[in-house]
């Protein structure tokens, strides 16, 4: 597996009871409760570091707002950039 560079980003999507993650043209998905559909592009390296702090957590609740992603009690604030839905 390729480790993300500081400039890499990934797409996190929620659709009809499934969560998808897309990174370097690879897409993975799981079944999960989804309250509302949406997409979010995040810096990959920072998000991987954050997820690693939850390694031993059996269930992880992730919530999204217009400029914030909440993982359990942690809030990740991000800037919404028009047209950033897909970067090549």
Does any domain span residue 85?
Answer: no
Q: Do residues 23 and 44 make contact, with C-beta atoms less than 8 angstroms apart?
A: yes
pLDDT in tens, 42-80: 888 888 888 888 888 888 888 877 777 788 888 877 665
Looking at the structure of the chain, the number of domains it has is 1
Task: Quote the distance between the C-alpha of residue 75 and its chain's center.
Answer: 13
> ∠ CA 52-65-82 to the nearest 5 degrees?
100
Does any domain span residue 43?
Answer: yes
Residue 39 pLDDT exceeds 70? yes
Does any domain span residue 42?
Answer: yes
Does any domain span residue 50?
Answer: yes
- At 6 the pLDDT is 67
- Both tokens of 16, joined, read 């009809």
- Both tokens of 1, joined, read 């597996």
Does any domain span residue 83?
Answer: no
CA 78/CA 34 separation, integer angstroms: 21
Tell me which residue range forms the domain holding 50: 9-77
Does any domain span residue 68?
Answer: yes
Q: What is the mean pLDDT of residues 4-27?
A: 85
* Higher per-residue confidence, 51 vs 88: 51
Does any domain span residue 52?
Answer: yes
């Amino acid at each position: 597996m390729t480790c993300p560079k500081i400039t890499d980003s990934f797409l996190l999507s929620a659709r009809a009871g499934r969560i998808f993650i897309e990174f370097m043209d690879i897409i993975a998905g799981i079944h999960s409760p989804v309250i509302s559909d949406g997409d979010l592009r995040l810096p990959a390296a920072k998000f991987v570091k954050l997820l690693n702090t939850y390694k031993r957590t059996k269930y992880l609740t992730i919530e999204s707002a217009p400029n914030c992603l909440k993982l359990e009690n942690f809030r990740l604030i991000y800037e919404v950039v028009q047209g950033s839905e897909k970067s090549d």
